[in-house]
Amino acid sequence: MSRKIAVLAGDGIGPEVVGEAVKVLKRISSAFEFEHALVGGAAYDDGGHPMPQSTLDLCRASDAVLLGAVGGPKYDKIQPPEMRPEVGALLPLRSELNLYANVRPAKTLNALKDSSPLRGDRGVMDLVVMRELTGGIYFARPRERRDDGNTAVDTCIYRRHEVVRIAERAFEIARQRRREIVSVDKANVLETSRLWREVVTEMAPSYPDVKVSHMLVDNCAMQLVRDPSQFDVILTENMFGDILSDEASMITGSLGLLPSASLSDPKEGRVFGLYEPVHGSAPDIAGLGKANPIATILSAAMMLRYSFDDDAAALVIENAVDAVLDAGIRTADIMSEGCQLVSTSEMGEAISQRILLS
């Protein structure tokens, strides 16, 4: 069955890293149909808007979206600020496509485990942070306000259906992994957290094969540093997820290698999602062939797993990445002594070759 992927390369290193991910996907299957569209600064230069309607329409008509990165110094001074790529492209993309579930895996790659700030095997982990992305304190209306110079107010609102839908995605993802969810909240203090805990607890019996437990956010931050290997899926609200996913990423020791997915409701039985590397457009190395394409290639693997329900193909990509790193092949950002330095396209090619061999 043909699957349509909207490819939004974006700015800076976006086109370079996305090009390598597309190369890898083409090696995996000939059933993918790629359609490219402009987004971010590139779209602004072309037609005066960072998120053209035609790009949004393409995303809606596709089975999944592969995004590079947007932004760069050239666009930092655009007025009004809502027309800057990060605000004018990324936020509408997320809200228009209803991408409420942000999935950030943090997995120690064997060949790079010495890069973790946790010594020895203490940093070895393989978890996913499942962060609610379109609710909570970042989105509640009325939004933040200053009553006078000295009083500031932010409002945190969660509605039952918002907790239900992110928890559903978390249960589905747990079923594709080790089937353990730790739901993280601050139920000893916050009413929104008490609702969160109540809903997750009510849903758990419908997923009897998934083990569910609850943890307070301060304890979770501590446990991540004490023993990150104890977690499989961490399910949490927007702000806690923002903080915990960065903490978990850092423990892997390789921020630049991390993929992500932002998921919406199932569309004709499959989960619609946007897949992108965690890093930005890296204007300092754009066009130099220095960018590491692995985060984007691993994002493509997530697309296969979550939107196309093809765990086997995702594993082929992940194993190919491991094999290349085990062989000592490195882009400049992860280079170490005795390894072989390669360019962006050489790294993509090396991973593709491993796919052909598998």
Residues 100, 107, 242, 306: which is the catalytic one? 242
Site for ligand NAD in 69-88 (CB under 6 A): 69-72, 86
7 binds ligand NAD (CB under 6 A): no
Angle at 202 between CA 229 and CA 98, to 5 degrees: 75
Site for ligand NAD in 13-52 (CB under 6 A): 13, 17
Residues 218, 227, 265, 326: which is the catalytic one? 218
Instruction: Indicate the angle between helix axes 14-28 and 344-357, nearest 10 degrees.
Output: 10
58 binds ligand NAD (CB under 6 A): no
256 binds ligand NAD (CB under 6 A): yes
Stretch of 43-51, 67-75, 162-170, 192-200 contacting ligand NAD, by CB under 6 A: 67-75
Q: Are 257 and 109 in contact (CB under 8 A)?
A: yes
The dihedrals phi and psi of 293, each to the nearest 5 degrees, come to: -85, 0
For tokens 């607890």, name the residue: 201
Stretch of 42-50, 156-164, 237-245, 283-291 contacting ligand NAD, by CB under 6 A: 283-291
| Minimal distance, residue 286 CB to ligand NAD, in Å | 9
Instruction: Compute the half-sphere exposure of residue 64: CA atoms within 13 Å on the CB side of its CA.
Output: 27
> In this chain, which of 9, 58, 128, 291 binds ligand NAD, going by CB under 6 A?
291
| Minimal distance, residue 252 CB to ligand NAD, in Å | 14
The SS3 call for residue 87 is helix
Residue 246 annotated in active site: yes
259 binds ligand NAD (CB under 6 A): no
Stretch of 52-60, 66-74, 184-192, 208-216 contacting ligand NAD, by CB under 6 A: 66-74
Q: DSSP string spanning 126-184?
A: EEEEEEE-SSGGGT-SS--EEEETTEEE------HHHHHHHHHHHHHHHHTTT-EEEEE
Residue 186 annotated in active site: yes
**Position 324, amino acid:** V
What are the structure tokens assigned to 315, written together? 């594993």
Residues 126, 138, 290, 311: which is the catalytic one? 138
Q: How far apart are CA 230 and CA 99, in angstroms?
A: 28
Q: Contact positions toward ligand NAD, by CB under 6 A? A: 13, 17, 69-72, 86, 90, 256, 276, 279-285, 291-292, 295, 333
Catalytic residue set: 138, 186, 218, 242, 246
